[in-house]
Amino acid sequence: MKPLGILGGTFDPVHHGHLRLALEAQAALGLSGVRLIPARRQPLREETMASPARRLEMLTLAIEGESALTTDDRELRREGPSYTIDTLTSLREELPRVPLCLLMGGDSWEGLERWHRWRELIDLAHLVVVHRPGYPGVSAARCRQRFDREPAAGPGALAATPAGEVLALALPPLAISATRIRTLLREGGNPRYLLPDPVLQYIRNHRLYT
């Protein structure tokens, strides 16, 4: 059974960095697809500037025509903080046997102890840590310290079981930041080619981030 990728975030706004990461991971890991799950409210980040409905609409526009990527609005429909453990629990109830791969950056891996009920995440999904410049990435020592196991030797281990592996994944870097895009828009700059054209047009039509 092919694993399913899970990529969460505020997507405020969604940009090519998010989309390329999802597609690169889908190809590298042999995923059946990647679900993009926008957070209603991320506990460890500031409040979003665009509303949940606007962010979901931009995400839907961004992936139109790309069959490997789908949106999932379960965190937007759930009141309160968007805890990843709750999202994975919900997904696992729907997909009890499907291997789930939670995609995260090296910065998230480094700060994992700050996540709500972080030790339980690996019981529900594989953790796929995408290398990010400036962060050390997955080490065997850190993996043993946190989860009492070695990192997975390769992507093949992800299809063998529904959850329980930690895999380091190196992808071509694409240094695009939503913060930079919002700054350009606020200051009257042009963020074209940093995000999909339909998303940029949506932002301009609705006068977001100005």
Please choose, from the candidates 14, 8, 7, the residue with its C-alpha nearest in 3D space to the C-alpha of residue 29.
7
CATH classification at residue 96? 3.40.50.620
Total of domains in the chain: 1
30 and 68 Cβ atoms separated by less than 8 Å: no
| Distance between CA atoms of residues 14 and 150, nearest Å | 33
Residue 168 structural domain: 4-174
Residue 99 lies in a domain: yes
196 and 19 Cβ atoms separated by less than 8 Å: yes
> pTM of the prediction?
0.95
Residue 15 lies in a domain: yes
Residue 122 lies in a domain: yes
Residue 200 lies in a domain: no
* Radius of gyration, alpha carbons of the chain: 17
Residue 185 lies in a domain: no
Residue 112: φ, ψ to 5°? -60, -30
Residue 206 lies in a domain: no
Structure tokens at 132: 């990010």
Residue 47 lies in a domain: yes
The phi-psi region of residue 205 (left if phi > 0; otherwise alpha if psi is between -120 and 50; otherwise beta) is alpha
How far the first Cα of the chain sits from its last, in Å, is 45
Residue 201 lies in a domain: no
Provide the residue-wise pLDDT of the chain in tens; the chain has 210 residues. Answer: 899 999 999 999 999 999 999 999 999 999 999 999 999 998 888 889 999 999 999 999 999 999 999 999 999 999 999 999 999 999 999 999 999 999 999 999 999 999 999 999 999 999 999 988 777 789 999 999 999 999 999 999 999 999 999 999 999 888 899 999 999 999 999 999 999 999 999 999 999 999
Residue 83, CA distances (Å) to 6, 87, 115 in order? 14, 7, 8
